[in-house]
């Protein structure tokens, strides 16, 4: 059994973040979920029996304030899961307004960068051999028409993962990413019900013929953050049923 760590999961109010938080909590860690959805994060924290924090990952002043408060209560963050992201803003290259791309990049790239920088500074100051796990997407490597804005942000998350990994290795901090294909969150299951043409089209693209479950993704995050992955850094691990093979 692994020793108890302080784990911060961003975007933990629902979807994948909620599953990731539950998995770390089940492993015995002290888990704090952070989300800009203040009501949602309070509700989910209560349901999971973890700690909740209202935080917008694009707001530097709030990040500094909340990380200081968190550290005073739980000690420095030892595992950061950068899961918060926007994934519903889509559009074709010829149509997508530039302002929409700005919005996606601001959250998925700048927000992930800011959280990484501020948590990593505290890990370095405290001399902690910490771990950072980013939530990427195989879309960063394989295009789907209409999703290129989002996919560009995830390609940047993969680059950010390598950037952080190579610079933070000297401090014994590992940085990796999980890169899922489509994941059956509640939102996706509602928007794409079983048997719908859209769901079948995705399943047909996946050699293992099913969309990822939230637990598939959570298990990969827990693995990358754990001792079994002690010699892994700078990678983006596909959890995609083989979709990248096609
Ligand atoms: N669902 C999928 O099919 C899928 C596939 C590959 C990758 N991902 C990635 O997984 C992550 C989670 O996705 P999900 O499907 O659970 O989506 P979701 O929308 O259910 O959850 C995302 C959470 O992030 C929060 N959030 C958004 N912007 C924020 C900000 N600025 N500050 C703080 N919190 C913010 C939202 O409030 C929400 O609770 C995202 O990074 C997404 O890109 C999802």
In a domain, 178, yes or no: yes
- Residue 150 is a catalytic residue: yes
From the alpha carbon of 56, which atom of ligand 1 is closest? 32
DSSP state, 235? -
The pLDDT assigned to 109 comes to 98
d(CA 138, CA 158): 10
In a domain, 190, yes or no: yes
- Indicate which CATH number applies to the domain containing 195: 3.40.50.720
The pLDDT assigned to 197 comes to 95
From the alpha carbon of 82, which atom of ligand 1 is closest? 41
Among the listed residues 16, 123, 135, 150, the single catalytic one is 150
In a domain, 19, yes or no: yes
The pLDDT assigned to 88 comes to 87
d(CA 136, CA 159): 10
In a domain, 243, yes or no: no
CA dihedral 155, 157, 160, 161 (to 10 degrees): -110
CA of 88 to the centre of ligand 1 (A): 9
From the alpha carbon of 186, which atom of ligand 1 is closest? 20
Structure tokens at 194: 């079983």
In a domain, 72, yes or no: yes
Phi, psi of 200 (to 5 degrees): -65, -35
Residues with CB under 6 A from ligand 1: 10-11, 13-17, 35-37, 55-58, 83-87, 107, 111, 135, 137, 180, 182-183, 185, 187-188
Structure tokens at 95: 């149509």
In a domain, 140, yes or no: yes
In a domain, 88, yes or no: yes
Mutate to test the pocket of ligand 1, among 40, 58, 85 (most ligand atoms within 8 A of CB): 85
CA-nearest residue, atom 23 of ligand 1:
11
Structure tokens at 117: 């920088």
The pLDDT assigned to 3 comes to 73
Residue carrying structure tokens 């990413």: 177
Q: Which domain holds residue 76?
A: 6-238
In tens, the pLDDT along 48-68 reads 999 999 999 999 999 999 999
The pLDDT assigned to 2 comes to 60
In a domain, 136, yes or no: yes
| Mean per-residue pLDDT pooled into runs of 10, the chain (246 residues) | 87 98 98 98 98 98 98 98 95 97 98 99 98 98 97 98 99 99 95 94 97 98 98 98 98
CA-nearest residue, atom 37 of ligand 1:
37
How many separate domains does the chain show? Answer: 1
Going by C-alpha positions, the residue among 14, 5, 1 that lies closest to residue 189 is 14
From the alpha carbon of 108, which atom of ligand 1 is closest? 41
DSSP state, 107? I
pTM: 0.98
CA of 69 to the centre of ligand 1 (A): 24
Phi, psi of 2 (to 5 degrees): -75, 150
């Amino acid at each position: 059994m692994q020793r108890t760590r302080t784990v911060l999961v961003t975007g933990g109010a629902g979807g994948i973040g909620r599953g990731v938080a539950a998995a770390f909590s089940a492993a015995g860690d002290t888990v704090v979920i952070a989300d800009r959805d203040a009501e949602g994060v309070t509700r989910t924290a209560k349901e999971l029996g973890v700690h909740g924090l209202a935080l917008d990952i694009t707001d530097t002043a709030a990040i500094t304030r909340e990380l200081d408060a968190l550290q005073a209560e739980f000690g420095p963050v030892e595992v950061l899961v950068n899961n918060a992201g926007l994934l519903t803003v889509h559009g074709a290259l010829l149509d997508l307004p530039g302002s929409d791309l700005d919005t996606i990049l601001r959250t998925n790239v700048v927000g992930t960068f800011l959280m990484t920088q501020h948590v990593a500074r505290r890990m370095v100051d405290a001399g902690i051999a910490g771990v950072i796990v980013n939530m990427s997407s195989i879309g960063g490597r394989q295009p789907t028409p209409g999703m290129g804005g989002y996919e560009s942000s995830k390609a940047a998350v993969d680059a950010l993962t390598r950037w952080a990994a190579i610079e933070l290795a000297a401090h014994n901090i590992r940085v990796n990413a999980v890169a899922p294909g489509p994941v059956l969150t509640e939102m996706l299951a509602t928007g794409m019900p079983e048997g719908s043409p859209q769901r079948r089209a995705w399943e047909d693209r996946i050699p293992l013929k099913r969309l990822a479950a939230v637990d598939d993704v959570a298990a990969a995050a827990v693995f990358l953050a754990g001792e079994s992955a002690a010699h892994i850094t700078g990678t983006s691990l596909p959890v995609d049923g083989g979709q990248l093979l096609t």
